Amino acid sequence: MDIYLRAIEPDDYLISHKWRNDFDLIKGYTAPRYVSLETEKKWVQKVIEENESGRSVRVGICTVGEDRLIGYANLLNIDYKNRNCEFSIVIGDRDYHGKGIPAQVRIILFRHAFLDLGMERIWSKILSTNIPAITNGERFGYVKEGVLRKAELQDGQLIDVNIYSMLKEEFMERYGQSERK
């Protein structure tokens, strides 16, 4: 599956609003809640402003050919002093689950973070109940650093959140500098 990343556009809220209100989808990432079109529109506008400030890099994941928005990926909490940031991703379009897209996106965004932004470490929070994300992250080369015990409320129960990371040298050893996309 060929994908590309692009800036988030003002009208993307019309698509992502559906993802945020799909509780079976979103509970793998965060606590579900009902989100209005207006709230999602404001969130997209805030994201665009954050990108302009350099505090984050948030992108839409699109399919080559169809130019269909299928998810979002983010570099958050960019800390230029300590050279690390958080990575997160959501593939909102269920037709594109199980196709290896998160690994493709990680390679593109991690390369950008390490080579263009000067990061030395990228980390992610992965819910202990999100087995596909854990499996995909470990296959990609993430190293589990620890567990935030009972850190997130899901379906009335507190669950653990795993912290994973990858260092620049680990990424370069595994994925190299070839083929910048």
The per-residue pLDDT for 180 is 47
Q: Write down all domains in the chain, each with its CATH number in brackets.
A: 3-175 (3.40.630.30)
The per-residue pLDDT for 31 is 67
Confidence of residue 142 (pLDDT cuts 50, 70, 90): very high
The per-residue pLDDT for 170 is 97
Give the length of the chain. Answer: 181
Tens digits of residue pLDDT in 82-98 = 999 999 999 999 999 99
